[in-house]
Amino acid sequence: MSIGSVQTQFFHLNHAFLLESGDSFDSITLAYETYGTLNGDASNAILVFHALTGSQHAAGINKSVPGDDTLWTSESFVGWWDTFIGPGKALDTERYFVICANYLGGCYGSTGPRSTNPLTGKPYGSRFPQVSAWDVIRSQLSLLDALGIDCLHAAIGGSLGGMLSILLATRCPHRVKNVLPIATGLETTVLHRVHNFEQILAIHNDPKFQGDDNYEGMPP
């Protein structure tokens, strides 16, 4: 059974957020979706971490995200884990409250390179500061705090999401009871780095990319 129509929500952290790099934001926004109902003692929450190129839309049908019309194509309408999340499914929304947030630095509604740099009035682009995996975890812990969730029933994710679930458990064991990393490992291998380097080169060699500062011309 599908959970039907869902909407992206937005969490605004309206105070300074310091990054591991030493840079900081005056405020940040995280786009997220929830499925199911949080119980009275907030003990049934499951945090889903998406893969590198994923989004907050893990389940159900979502045909638009405010401010993201150019990227939110028909391929995005059905949640990427729709067969896994819902009533009677592996992540049973009749039992659990499931949360999935687009990462800080993402492009589906969270603060990222497409966001407006308050110093210039234009998209950050290449000036967007470096965001670490730990920065992503800390931003999502702020979201959990706002939702009133002290300790997750579980954290789960595949690929990069699996690595983040491990990082959460090792650095903040008091915030999660169960961890389910999928298709991932404790660290990236040399082969992973080579594949990532090839993909980065493909992007950088596109003449329309222009160092990620081409937000007014034809897109790459």
Q: Give me the pLDDT at residue 211, please.
A: 85
Is it the case that residue 1 has pLDDT exceeding 90? no
Q: Give me the pLDDT at residue 81, please.
A: 97
Q: Give me the pLDDT at residue 170, please.
A: 96
Q: Predicted confidence band at 219 (pLDDT cuts at 50, 70, 90)?
A: confident
For β-strands 28-35 and 9-13, DSSP reports them as antiparallel
Q: Which residues contact 6 (CB under 8 A, 6 or more apart)?
A: 33, 35, 57, 59, 60, 61, 62, 79
Nearest to 219 by CA among 74, 102, 64, 113: 113
> What's the mean pLDDT when you consider all of the chain?
95
Q: Give me the pLDDT at residue 10, please.
A: 98
Q: Which residues contact 171 (CB under 8 A, 6 or more apart)?
A: 134, 137
Residue type present at position 77: F
Q: Give me the pLDDT at residue 218, please.
A: 80
Q: What are the pLDDT digits (tens) for 51-66?
A: 999 999 999 999 999 9
Q: Predicted confidence band at 78 (pLDDT cuts at 50, 70, 90)?
A: very high
Q: Give me the pLDDT at residue 70, please.
A: 84
CATH topology classification for 9-185: Rossmann fold (3.40.50)
Q: Which residue has the higher pLDDT, 187 or 146?
A: 146
Average confidence (pLDDT) over 100-118: 96
Q: Give me the pLDDT at residue 217, please.
A: 78
Q: What are the pLDDT digits (tens) for 140-171?
A: 999 999 999 999 999 999 999 999 999 999 99
Average confidence (pLDDT) over 176-180: 98
SS3 64: coil
Q: Give me the pLDDT at residue 188, please.
A: 85
Q: What are the pLDDT digits (tens) for 195-213?
A: 999 999 999 999 988 888 8
